[in-house]
Copies of this chain bind each other. A is one copy, B any other.
Amino acid sequence: MHTSSLFPAAILTLLMGAFYFFTAVRVGVLRGRHNVKAPATSGHPLFERAYRVQLNTLEQLGIILPFLWVAALYPIDAQWLAPLIGIVWLIGRVLYLRLYMADPEKRLLGAGIGGLTNLAMLVVALCGVLKAWFAGRA
User: What is the bound-complex CA distance between A115 and B24, given in angstroms?
Assistant: 9
Chain A interface mostly:
helix
Q: Answer whether residue A82 sits at the interface, using C-beta atoms and an 8 A cutoff.
A: no
User: What is the bound-complex CA distance between A29 and B27, given in angstroms?
Assistant: 26
What's the nearest-Cβ distance from chain B to residue A72, in Å?
10
Report A81-138 residues with CB < 8 Å from chain B CB. Answer: 100, 104-105, 107, 111, 115, 118-119, 122, 125-126, 129, 132-133, 138
Q: Name the CB-closest residue of B to A118.
A: B21
Q: Quick check: A59 and B24 within 8 Å, CB to CB?
A: yes
Q: Name the CB-closest residue of B to A41.
A: B52
Interface size for A (C-beta < 8 A) is: 55
Query: Could you name 6 residue pairs across A and B whose Cβ atoms are closer than 8 Å?
Result: A13-B69, A18-B122, A21-B122, A38-B104, A39-B51, A39-B52
Question: Which A residues form the contact surface with B (CB < 8 A)?
Answer: 1, 3-4, 6-7, 10-11, 13-14, 16-18, 20-21, 24-25, 28, 37-39, 41, 45, 48-49, 51-52, 54-55, 58-59, 61-63, 65-67, 69-70, 73-74, 100, 104-105, 107, 111, 115, 118-119, 122, 125-126, 129, 132-133, 138
